[in-house]
Amino acid sequence: MLKVKNLSKVYDGKVAHKALTNIDLTIEEGEFVGIMGPSGSGKSTLLNLVATIDQPTSGSIMVNDKDPLRMKHNELAIFRRRELGFIFQDFNLLPTLTVEENIVLPLTLEGVRVKEMEERVVAVAEKLGITPILKKRIYEISGGQAQRTAIARAIIHRPKMVLADEPTGNLDSKSSRAAMDMMEKINKQDKTTMMMVTHDPVAASYTERVVFIKDGKLFNEIHRGDNRQAF
Ligand code: ADP
Ligand code: ADP
């Protein structure tokens, strides 16, 4: 699903900054992988490269068995929209739209028919336990509900892989577990591959494997056994 080989990223500036050095990482289809490491270690950089919104300085990267470095700009935009789902720390929802309107946004861009959109929203809302709040506006709902809405939006187009950046970073423990329960369910039921950057031991405990990164290098990896006990 993801094959990263010898990947390096140098940010140009007054002083060039090596953010990632010779990263090798393979994520199999259906895996749920956590990326952990201190602030500034290169986690966001790695996620941005996999998200195809930034380009490496050297090395190769295959996302869903395709090579984003060979794609033209508009091909890349379509690839990202169809095959990837994104979940952010601050939810990235449009506050004045309703929950339902936010969830269908990725489908409207794809020109999916209204009836099909409605059916998909009903199903995804049911799965995420947000059916009762579909007509509410984002500013009327809680942080936990907002993150479940964002998860719904991230999977409504049935992406092969979901990339999450600190999904529990703005949530209390109870909402964090609720959000992670949903991500786990999507991973297990839909076989959606998950790559998640996190500082949160609770979030990490849901993964099958955690890759640790420091100073732009991978330095350790924990498989579960049971990460729920490891963290
Ligand atoms: P993390 O997500 O682990 O906090 P980042 O990937 O954001 O780490 O950053 C890794 C390193 O690269 C840091 O030292 C950061 O300051 C630097 N960095 C990140 N983005 C840029 C950029 N656009 N320009 C220059 N340096 C950057
Ligand atoms: P995170 O909390 O995810 O680690 P950061 O606060 O490190 O994110 O970075 C936020 C954004 O700023 C990222 O998109 C990153 O690429 C960019 N950034 C980080 N460090 C630098 C830097 N030294 N120069 C320019 N941009 C940076």
Nearest CA to ligand 1 atom 16: 40
Reported ipTM: the value is 0.71
> Residue 44 Cα, ligand 1 centroid: separation in angstroms?
7
Q: What is the largest CA-CA distance in the chain?
A: 54
The radius of gyration computed from the CA coordinates of the chain, to the nearest angstrom, equals 18
Helix (H) or strand (E) holding 178: helix 173-190
Helix (H) or strand (E) holding 68: none
pTM confidence score: 0.89
For the chain, give the percent of residues with pLDDT over 90. 90
> Residue 17 Cα, ligand 1 centroid: separation in angstroms?
8
Tens digits of residue pLDDT in 49-61? 999 999 999 999 9
Nearest to residue 155, comparing CAs of 113, 135, 127, 134? 127
* pLDDT for res 13: 84
* pLDDT at position 225 over 90: no
Question: Which of 44, 163, 214, when mutated, tests ligand 2's pocket best, judged by the most ligand atoms within 8 Å of its CB?
Answer: 44
Which residues make Cβ contacts (< 8 Å) with residue 59, sequence separation at least 6? 4, 5, 6, 7, 8, 22, 23
Tens digits of residue pLDDT in 149-195? 999 999 999 999 999 999 999 999 999 999 999 999 999 999 999 99
> Residue 39 Cα, ligand 2 centroid: separation in angstroms?
10
